[in-house]
Amino acid sequence: MVVHDEHGFDRDYWEERYSASGLAWSGNPNPVLVTDVTPLPPGRALDVGSGEGADAIWLAQHGWQVTGVDIATSALTKAKARAESLDPVAADRIDWRQRDVTEWSPSPRAFDLVSAQFMHLPEPARTTLFRSLAAAVAPGGTLLIVGHDASDVGRDSPHQGHLADLMFSVEDVLAAIAPEELHVEVAESRRRNPVPAPDSEFHHDVVVRASRATSI
């Protein structure tokens, strides 16, 4: 998750977190990515907020040429080393790039898949990012945005209430990407499977998958 520094999650926070030994996350690709991308033919993929690289590695192992973007150099260093250790052939398909997504936008219509998994930013940065990601989808390509559903976390939530303004809804994503006139294939609040631990506040994921028509 990459968020604005007013919540304490600035670049220094992520550099420190990813420079620690071991993995900050599970090391497994996000389940929604696996489910929704498996049927797609491989091409050029953009993985935004790639962290330790689990999604990028999975994509590369399935034939995608991947650009993995993260704010933290320490995350990219760890991701590159992990990719080379797990699958050197797949590692050669990944280009790791340090970028701050609040200041950077991908090239328009440059990717066959644009994936943003749990990129939680305050407004207006969130809308700006999602709109730029939609613009980066090539003709025939797919946009996949996944995040914690705002309906799960209110300001009075016991653990994550202070982050409520970072969560978003299906409607927020659709409004952000609307100017690109993509064909929306999936727009839902999806119950997590397996069911989270009882003390978790995150039980649903916003899932929006959309595609751009092939140019004639």
CATH of domain 45-155+163-211: 3.40.50.150
pLDDT at 138: 98
Cβ-contact 33, 55 below 8 angstroms: yes
Q: What are the average pLDDT values for consecutive 10-residue runs of the chain, which has 216 residues?
A: 53 69 73 96 97 95 97 91 96 96 94 95 93 98 93 56 75 97 96 61 86 85
pLDDT at 161: 45
Using N-to-C axis directions, what is the helix angle for 54-61 and 73-86, rounded to 10°? 40
Cα-based distances in Å from 15 to 9, 51, 64, 73: 10, 10, 27, 7
DSSP 99-146: --TTT--PPTT-EEEEEEES----TTHHHHHHHHHHHTEEEEEEEEEE
pLDDT at 23: 72
Closest CA to 216 of 109, 113, 140, 135: 140
Closest CA to 65 of 92, 38, 84, 86: 92
pTM, full prediction? 0.86
pLDDT at 196: 54
Strand partners, 142: 113, 211
pLDDT at 21: 74
Closest CA to 164 of 186, 148, 178, 144: 148
Domains of the chain by residue range: 45-155+163-211
Cα-based distances in Å from 40 to 25, 33, 176, 177, 209: 26, 11, 24, 21, 12
pLDDT at 10: 73
**CA 165, CA 198: separation in Å to the nearest integer?**
23
* Degrees, nearest 5: CA angle 47-92-90: 70
pLDDT at 92: 98
| Pairing outcome for strands 94-98 and 111-117 | unpaired
pLDDT at 4: 44
pLDDT at 200: 56
